[in-house]
Amino acid sequence: MNHRTQVGIVGAGPAGLMLSHLLHLAGIESVVLEARSRQYVEERVRAGLLEQTTVNLLNETGVGERMKRLGLVHHGIELRFGGRGHRIDLSELTGGSTVTIYAQHEVIKDLIAARIAAGGQIVFEAADVSIHDFNGPKPKIRYRIDGTDNELSCDFIAGCDGFHGVCRPSIPNGVLTMYDRIYPFAWLGILAEATPSSDELIYAYHERGFALHSMRSPNITRLYLQCAPDENLADWPDEKIWDELQLRLAAGKDWKLNRGAVIQKGITEMRSFVAEPMQSGTLFLAGDAAHIVPPTGAKGLNLAVADVRVLARALTDYYANSNRELLTKYSETCLRRVWKVQRFSWWMTSMLHRFADDNAFDQRRQLAELDYVTSSRAASQTLAENYVGLPME
Ligand code: RFL
Ligand code: PHB
């Protein structure tokens, strides 16, 4: 089958779905092609923390109703080190901004429901997706459904297919410059049927390694431990995970981590990555397809949403006024935010993790940094303004 749309979007993650939703609100037609099934993307356990800017956008564009009901609004976070907790009052330091705990797959469900209710087209289980002719004005996307070949003609392609997608690797050699850093550790994450042990997130620096206490709801806790990059999950029975989390998160001898049934377990690699520019001809990359941040700053999803906001505005101006200026500036505009978020995510990661080749000096320096960040108003404010999300340009 051959069909046509204005914007062909590869990937139904936060970037692709939000873009399709924003374009629809501007009267621009799009088709989203997704390799996985609807059920798979609606259940995939990923991020959980939304910046104020992301929350505002979901509300302003009419997809924030469930988030308002089920999301947990947080006014602060805690940094734990040296056996003590230190609160960063995000709201007070940023003139009232907050962050919201609301699982990424819930955002995905809300966006899919909104697209379908508005008659939007999302093709799930699209096999062998490939992109063509994006060096000119008539790009095409080919894919297969149930063994049948299809071709989608469009004016623009949005590559929203994540880090392992097909769009970025389809750009000819020599066009992109890649910048990256791979960290010598990973995160072992669990989701557990346990009441959160604190009302707020706890980022812990410990001589045995980093740990993070987060949550999804009043009865589901989300926890992470720094581990080796090649760690084998089979070496981590639940009891061992709980014992290690208890050790690293403890503040004072009486602090006790609530335990419960572990319902999901996984290992996340940690990397920083940027591809520049985020555009080639009529192909625009957005979200993880263009950049990856380590999860310590909780920025990946938020950055994906920020990119497509810039892209939607540029496409809207193009279709309404035949003006390509914002499209031409897409990459430059996004990259200013991307690099600030890269810096913040790298900084949080460097401050909170144990690096195997660090010596006693480096460890003292990390503790001094944590002490400074939690005792200086200027330093706490720097953390807070980045954590709740820098303003959109
Ligand atoms: P996604 O979500 O990876 O979506 C890409 C979509 O493209 C599909 N796809 C294809 N479709 C068609 N053809 C192909 N060839 C395709 N190849 C791939 C995929 O199936 C998928 O549906 O990218 P997007 O939209 O750019 O969104 C990025 C975010 O998902 C990611 O940055 C965050 O999850 C990162 N992240 C966090 N971000 C936050 O903002 N706050 C957090 O608290 C946070 N915590 C996390 C995280 C990521 C984690 N993991 C597992 C990597 C915690 C973890 C553990
Ligand atoms: C999460 O809840 O999954 C989460 C929260 C904060 C982070 C990373 C992950 O920095």
Ligand 2 pocket mutation pick from 201, 210, 303, 349 by most atoms within 8 angstroms of CB? 201
The reported pLDDT for the residue numbered 296 is 97
Cβ(74) – ligand 2 distance below 6 Å: no
Task: Give 74-97 pLDDT, tens digit per residue.
Answer: 999 999 999 999 999 999 999 999
Atom 8 of ligand 2: nearest residue by CA position = 298
Asked whether the predicted pLDDT for residue 313 surpasses 90, the reply is yes
Q: Which residue has the tokens 């989608």?
A: 152
Q: Ligand 1 centre from 111 Cα, in Å? A: 15
Task: Give 34-59 pLDDT, tens digit per residue.
Answer: 999 999 999 998 889 999 999 999 99
Asked whether the predicted pLDDT for residue 168 surpasses 90, the reply is yes
Q: Where in the chain is the domain with CATH 3.30.9.10?
A: 184-269+353-387
Q: Is 222 helix (H, G, I), strand (E, B) or coil?
A: strand
The two three-digit tokens of residue 177, written as one number = 């410059």
Task: Give 176-233 pLDDT, tens digit per residue.
Answer: 999 999 999 999 999 999 999 999 999 999 999 999 999 999 999 999 999 999 999 9
Length in residues, the chain: 393
Domain spanning 2-74+97-179+271-347 has what CATH number?
Answer: 3.50.50.60
Cβ(295) – ligand 2 distance below 6 Å: yes
Within 10 angstroms of residue 103's Cβ, the number of other Cβ atoms is 23
Cβ(222) – ligand 2 distance below 6 Å: yes
Cβ(162) – ligand 2 distance below 6 Å: no
Q: Which ligand is nearest to the CA of 142?
A: 1
The reported pLDDT for the residue numbered 117 is 98
Architecture of domain 184-269+353-387: 2-Layer Sandwich (3.30)
Q: Percent of the chain at pLDDT above 70?
A: 100
The reported pLDDT for the residue numbered 17 is 98
Averaged over 274-284, what is the pLDDT? 98
The reported pLDDT for the residue numbered 235 is 96
Angle at 305 between CA 210 and CA 266, to 5 degrees: 35
Task: Give 297-311 pLDDT, tens digit per residue.
Answer: 999 999 999 999 999
Cβ(299) – ligand 2 distance below 6 Å: no
The reported pLDDT for the residue numbered 45 is 87
Q: How far is CA 246 from CA 130, 146, 256, 258, 270, in A?
A: 47, 49, 7, 9, 23
Atom 6 of ligand 2: nearest residue by CA position = 298
Asked whether the predicted pLDDT for residue 312 surpasses 90, the reply is yes
Atom 55 of ligand 1: nearest residue by CA position = 46
Cβ(226) – ligand 2 distance below 6 Å: no
Q: What sections of the chain are H helices per DSSP?
A: 14-25, 38-43, 52-60, 65-70, 90-94, 104-117, 167-170, 238-249, 300-321, 325-328, 330-352, 360-375, 377-387
Ligand 1 pocket mutation pick from 10, 145, 301 by most atoms within 8 angstroms of CB? 301
Q: Using CB atoms within 10 A of its CB, is residue 47 exposed (0-12), middle (13-18) or buried (19+)?
A: buried
Cβ(126) – ligand 1 distance below 6 Å: yes
Q: Which residues are catalytic?
A: 74, 203, 295, 299, 387
Averaged over 104-109, what is the pLDDT? 97
Averaged over 156-183, what is the pLDDT? 98
Q: Tell me how far apart the alpha carbons of residues 75 and 277 are, in angstroms, rounded to a whole number.
A: 36
pLDDT band at 252 (very low <50, low <70, confident <90, very high): confident
The reported pLDDT for the residue numbered 297 is 95
Q: What sections of 26-141 are H helices per DSSP?
A: 38-43, 52-60, 65-70, 90-94, 104-117
Average pLDDT, the chain: 97
**C-beta of residue 32 within 8 angstroms of C-beta of residue 20:** yes
Ligand 2 pocket mutation pick from 222, 292, 345 by most atoms within 8 angstroms of CB? 222
Q: Tell me how far apart the alpha carbons of residues 264 and 24 are, in angstroms, rounded to a whole number.
A: 35
Q: Ligand 1 centre from 247 Cα, in Å? A: 30
Averaged over 136-159, what is the pLDDT? 97
The reported pLDDT for the residue numbered 144 is 98
DSSP labels, 64-92 = -HHHHHH-EEES-EEEEETTEEEEE-HHH
DSSP 8-state symbol, 219? T
pLDDT band at 253 (very low <50, low <70, confident <90, very high): confident
Task: Give 349-365 pLDDT, tens digit per residue.
Answer: 999 999 999 999 999 99
Asked whether the predicted pLDDT for residue 141 surpasses 90, the reply is yes
**C-beta of residue 171 within 8 angstroms of C-beta of residue 280:** yes
The reported pLDDT for the residue numbered 102 is 97
Within 10 angstroms of residue 180's Cβ, the number of other Cβ atoms is 11
